[in-house]
Amino acid sequence: APRSRLAGLVTRLARRTGRTRGAVAAEWFLRYLHHVVRPVLWLDAHAGIALEAHQQNTLLLLDADGWPAGGRYRDNQGYYFRESHRAVLDARLPGVGERSDTFVADAVTDERFAYYLAVNNVFGLIGAFGSQRLADEALLLAAFRRFLSGSAPGSAPPGGSLPGHLLDSPVLRCKANLLTRLRGLDELVGPVDTQSVYVTIANPLRA
């Protein structure tokens, strides 16, 4: 079977650095968390804006060697504005969210943000490493837990309510795309908290 681009990057970095693929994959993942995930969490914590930052909406910037160096967010169908930040956001951008129905309760924001950033994006990346035998998924999940808690050496908690939600909740909500389609829902129409069908899954971070 053809190798993925991720496998090619990790393999080349391992050869160049003389390290194992597992060690390189772990560092690559940590850099991804720092350069791509942390800024998205910062925006939510400080501005009350949660992005639908799933994998298809995330462009990864690589340095000359192939390590994650940054990210770009694109092609969104909507933002989640936290109700708790309404006054601040409205003062900054008067009328924001009025026509888009994007102000939602914080609990709903945590639920949807957890799906887009954690389940779809980060867990998807961990699954890619695991399915190609580039890294042990359990080790990457442990690294993600340390990142969220700020317990890794030289790091601080990312801030906001999502890290605690991901660390403490025994279950997470996951978007069911097929069920959404079968029920005739249009994700471009109506309030963002009722556009899609969500189901409950076990939280891998609590396994």
What residues contact 203, with CB distance under 8 A and at least 6 apart? 166, 169, 170, 171, 172
Report yes or no on 182 lying in a domain: no
Q: What is the pLDDT of residue 181?
A: 76
Q: Does 98 reside within a domain?
A: yes
What pLDDT, in 10s, does the model give residues 28-62? Answer: 999 999 999 999 999 999 999 999 999 999 999 99
Please state the domain count of the chain.
Answer: 1
Residue 185 domain-assigned? no
Q: Is residue 173 part of a domain?
A: no
Report pTM.
Answer: 0.89
Using CA atoms, how far apart are residues 143 and 93, in angstroms rounded to an integer? 37
184 within a domain of the structure (yes/no): no
Does residue 70 contact residue 36 with C-beta atoms inside 8 Å? yes
Reported as a single tens digit per residue, the pLDDT across 66-84 is 999 999 998 766 688 999 9
Q: Which domain holds residue 55?
A: 5-168
Asked whether residue 201 is assigned to any structural domain, the reply reads no
Distance (Å, whole) CA 74 – CA 27: 25
> Residue type for 151, please?
S
**Cα gap 20→119, rounded to integer Å:** 27
Q: Is 140 exposed, middle or buried (0-12, 13-18, 19+ CB in 10 A)?
A: buried
CA angle 180, 115, 96 (to 5 degrees): 85
pLDDT band at 132 (very low <50, low <70, confident <90, very high): very high
**pLDDT band at residue 194 under the 50/70/90 scheme:** low
Question: CA 149 to CA 155: how far, in whole Å?
Answer: 9
Q: What does the buried/exposed string (b/e) look like for 91-107 if buried means 16 or more CB atoms within 10 Å of the residue's CB?
A: eeeeebbeeebbbbebe
In a domain, 94, yes or no: yes
Q: Is residue 21 part of a domain?
A: yes
